[in-house]
Amino acid sequence: MKAMTLTVRSEVLRQAARVLESRGKRPTQALFCWQSGYGERRFLATFAWPGVVEVFDHNTGELAASSLPGQPFQLNTHRFTAA
């Protein structure tokens, strides 16, 4: 599997936030499929305190994307850049 770029992670995060938002009041998690140049992949999106959306690859459990606190559509790039 190819490594995900920050652009792809950001797209996955935005999709996850939209899916959670569409679930109604205070959703905590949702399973969704996303198709791109990587093929179709399944992700588990979670919404946790303090307002952070995290997206995990359903097959590997790898963290695919994470938002900034209180900003569910904004990728926290610090979690995915090399130190």
pLDDT in tens, 5-33: 899 899 999 999 988 888 776 667 888 88
Tell me the C-alpha to C-alpha distance, in Å, between residue 68 and each of 27, 38, 40, 49: 18, 25, 26, 11
Q: Is residue 38's pLDDT more than 70?
A: no
1 falls within a domain:
no
59 falls within a domain:
yes
72 falls within a domain:
yes
55 falls within a domain:
yes
* Stated pTM of the model: 0.83
Q: Is residue 1's pLDDT more than 50?
A: no
Q: Is residue 61's pLDDT more than 70?
A: yes
Number of domains in the chain: 1
Tell me the C-alpha to C-alpha distance, in Å, between residue 55 and each of 47, 78: 9, 15
The pLDDT tens digits of the residues spanning 42-59 come to: 899 998 888 899 999 988
User: Which domain does 61 fall in, by range?
Assistant: 6-79
